[in-house]
Amino acid sequence: MKNLEFIARPANAMSLVKRKLVLGVGINDVDYRIRYVKGRRTVKCPYYLKWHRMLLMCYCPRYAKLHPRLKRCTVVNSWLTFSVFKAWMMQQEWFNRKLSVYNTIYSPLTCEFTGTTSTGEDNENN
């Protein structure tokens, strides 16, 4: 199942209240569920997958330990809010492409989607 089949389903009030910061910095402010079960598979929001991966690379100590050669990076404050990143991403050619940064700060001015993903990150539905 491809992420293009993701359908935004409204989040209920309880799930919205229970949301915490993503990796201690990110704010998931959308009013829909970012994942749901369809049959025997979990379907995930493709925009959220890209955003979460970016946050992992910059703010997850475990990721940094596993990839010590990678430069330390940060994300511009506005992109710490999921809906802002998603709005930017929706204007890009992103499917089956990798989010690339040209310095150590992820921002609309320093990023673009390039090449193809080698990890199949656009199909991370399990």
pLDDT digits (tens, 9 = 90+) for 3-51: 458 888 999 898 888 899 999 999 999 999 999 988 888 899 999 999 9
Query: How many angstroms separate the CA atoms of 109 and 90, rounded?
Result: 15
DSSP helix/strand/coil, 4: helix
Containing H/E element for 60?
A: none
Q: In this predicted structure, what is the pLDDT of residue 68?
A: 78
Q: In this predicted structure, what is the pLDDT of residue 122?
A: 53
Q: In this predicted structure, what is the pLDDT of residue 123?
A: 47
Of 22, 18, 1, nearest to 83 (Cα)? 22
